[in-house]
Amino acid sequence: MKFLSFEYVKDLYANDNDFANLYNVCEKSTYGKFHRLDGYLLKENKLCVRDSSMQNCSYVKLKGIV
């Protein structure tokens, strides 16, 4: 059985047109509803990921993170 890994997402934030600025701002503190946790960018309790097939930004709700 294979599981989807989001580890690669951490490497994409720094160069992403939509998330790079937020990712950098959140390095040491929160910014509005955004914050970083273990290298991931989150909006409240939702993981920020790029939906490359549709070229839209998406938020994946994570349970039990915050």
**What integer is the mean pLDDT of 34-44?**
92
Question: Mean pLDDT of all residues in the chain?
Answer: 77
Per-residue confidence at 59, pLDDT binned at 50, 70, 90? low
Q: Are strands 46-51 and 34-37 parallel, antiparallel or unpaired?
A: unpaired
pLDDT tens column, 8-38: 788 888 888 888 999 999 999 999 999 999 9
Q: Is residue 66 a part of any domain in this protein?
A: no
Range of the domain at 24: 7-61
**What integer is the mean pLDDT of 37-52?**
85
Q: Is residue 18 a part of any domain in this protein?
A: yes
Q: Is residue 43 a part of any domain in this protein?
A: yes
Q: Whole-model pTM above 0.75? A: no
Q: Is residue 56 a part of any domain in this protein?
A: yes
* Total domain count, the chain: 1
Q: Is residue 45 a part of any domain in this protein?
A: yes
Q: CB neighbours of 6 closer than 8 A, spacing ≥ 6?
A: 40, 47, 49
